[in-house]
Amino acid sequence: QTLCPTICGEHAPEEIVEFGAKLRDSHWVPLESNPEVLNDFAWKAGLPRSWEFVDVFGIEADLLAMVPAGCVALTLLFHTSPALQRYKEEQSRSIEAKGQRLSPDLVYVKQYIGNACGTIACIHCMANNAKVLGLPEETPMGRYLSRIRGKSPEQAGAMLGDATDLHQASEVCATGGQTPTPEATSSVDAHFVAFVEKDGEVYELDGCKAAPVNHGSSDGD
C-alpha cells in the first residue's frame, strides 16, 4: 500500500537492550495488508482524513498510473524465508563496512514487540511525513512523536510499548480485516516494511534490521 492524498539494536544502551528483550515477550495482533485496515489504524492514530492508504496492484506503467499523485510513503508486505534472512545479514555487514548517509530528520523505530511490524510500518510512514500530512500534536501519533523526539531508534522502539493509545487503536483495527484474525502470539511468515523519501533519497525502514537502508536518489519522483 502507498500513502497518498485522499481521492474522494546493536549499539543501544544496556537498559534499552534489557527493556527490548522484555518487550519481545509482548505481542500485538498483526495488521492485515489491506487499505481499509491500515487507514482505520492511521486515522485513529491521527492521520487527517485528507490522506489514505491505497493498493498498488503492480509496477507496470498502467497499474502505477492508477495510484493517485502525491504519494509520500509505501508499505510492503512480503513472505519471510531463510534466504531473505541471509540477505539481511549480508546487507547489514556491507552497510557497516561501507557506511551510508542517513538524513538527520529520519524517524526510525526499532521493533521489539512481536507481530507489530504492520503498525510500525504505518508509524514510519506517518512519522516521516508529519509536516506534509498535518498530523495534529494532540493525537495518539502526535503525542508519540513528541515523546520520542531526540531519542534513539532503540529508545523509540522501547517507548512504543508504553504508547497504550496506539496499541489500543492497532488492536481494534486488526480485527477488521477480510481474513480470520490471528492470535497476537501467532507465528506469521510475513513481514511489513516502509519506504519513505527524505532529502531526495529513498529509505527502507524495517524495525527488525540493524538500521535504515538508504536506497539512493529518488530522482524527484
Active site positions, annotated: 117, 191
Q: How many helices (H) and strands (E) does the chain have?
A: 9, 6
Phi, psi (rounded to 5 degrees) for 75: -110, 150
Listed residue (117, 119, 113, 110) closest to 24, CA to CA: 113
Give the H/E segment covering residue 202: strand 201-205
Residues in the chain: 221
Rounded distance between C-alpha atoms, residue 167 and residue 81, angstroms: 28
